[in-house]
């Protein structure tokens, strides 16, 4: 199903994009800090609750990428900005997690870079689907989309982020279908997580549903501040570096 690029949200009440990004920043910081203070798959109930709060972040990111695609004045510039952001965030994320800076050195294919790489590829997928059929046939689009998903696989949230962004864009204007498709993508992620990583934390990923009531309040407006996107771009790598130094201090103490 091709994304519908004509739908606009007109409600003036509810939460703006800036407000949702602010919530994402808060829940993301809680999640990353919890991983550092309580490393591994800690199943104490209150640790799991903190991680559950952290699951709110990703759906907001996916939703804002899809919305940003429709609202931005220059999609190519938006993509390049996000690519640069993903590059910087790679080093911050791997420093925070204690992973090698070069991908696949550890021998694992999972969690080799930050979710920002997957978000960029999700945006790239939307641009791909928007190319006219006269310039790019549907079979070739589908093949390139598979390649994009493969490239996203080693990132945090893997190719699920790409699929979720595309589903949110495809069903724009029908919130129930957006969320149903998004949750179906997450269920696939849960299955893989349970098989290859940890069952309890795999099931925990279903807590992304906590973001649904917040996203339902989105009013289609960016908000008064034009600088929020730069706040997010700065905060994401900065808070990872700071938490990374905390991790080193905890290891040495």
Of the candidates 170, 219, 217, 210, the one whose C-alpha atom is nearest the C-alpha of residue 186 is 210
**Residue 207 pLDDT:** 98
Structure tokens at 61: 């990111």
Which residue(s) pair with 155 in the sheet? 113
Which residue(s) pair with 218 in the sheet? 15
Which residue(s) pair with 204 in the sheet? none
CB contact set of 123 (below 8 Å; sequence gap of 6+):
65, 68, 69, 78, 79, 82, 165
Which residue(s) pair with 15 in the sheet? 218
Q: How far is 65 from 122, CA to CA, in rounded Å?
A: 8
**Digit-coded pLDDT (tens) for 60-97:** 999 999 999 999 989 999 999 999 999 999 999 999 99
- Any idea where the domains of the chain sit in the sequence? 17-99+109-252
Residues (pLDDT < 50) of the chain are 1-11
**Residue 253 pLDDT:** 76
**Residue 108 pLDDT:** 76
**Residue 12 pLDDT:** 58
**Residue 158 pLDDT:** 94
């Amino acid at each position: 199903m091709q994304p519908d690029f004509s739908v606009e949200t007109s409600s003036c009440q509810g939460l703006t994009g800036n407000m949702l990004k602010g919530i994402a920043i808060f829940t993301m910081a809680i999640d990353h800090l919890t991983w550092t203070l309580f490393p591994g798959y800690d199943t104490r109930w209150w640790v799991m609750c903190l991680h559950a709060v952290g699951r709110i972040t990703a759906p907001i990111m996916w939703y804002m990428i899809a919305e940003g695609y429709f609202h931005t004045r220059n999609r190519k510039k938006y993509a390049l900005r996000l690519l640069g952001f993903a590059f910087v965030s790679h080093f911050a994320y791997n420093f925070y997690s204690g992973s090698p800076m070069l991908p696949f050195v550890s021998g694992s294919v999972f969690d080799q870079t930050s979710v920002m790489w997957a978000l960029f590829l999700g945006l790239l997928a939307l641009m791909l689907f928007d190319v006219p059929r006269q310039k790019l046939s549907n079979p070739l689009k589908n093949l390139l989309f598979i390649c994009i998903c493969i490239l996203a696989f080693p990132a945090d949230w893997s190719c699920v982020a790409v699929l979720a962004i595309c589903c949110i864009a495809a069903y724009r204007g029908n919130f129930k279908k957006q969320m149903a498709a998004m949750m179906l993508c997450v269920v696939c992620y849960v299955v893989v997580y349970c098989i290859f990583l940890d069952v309890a934390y795999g099931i925990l990923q279903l807590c992304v549903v906590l973001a649904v009531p917040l996203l339902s309040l989105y009013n289609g407006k960016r908000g008064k501040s034009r600088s929020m996107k730069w706040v997010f771009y700065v905060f994401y790598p900065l808070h990872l570096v700071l938490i990374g130094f905390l991790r080193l201090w905890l290891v040495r103490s």
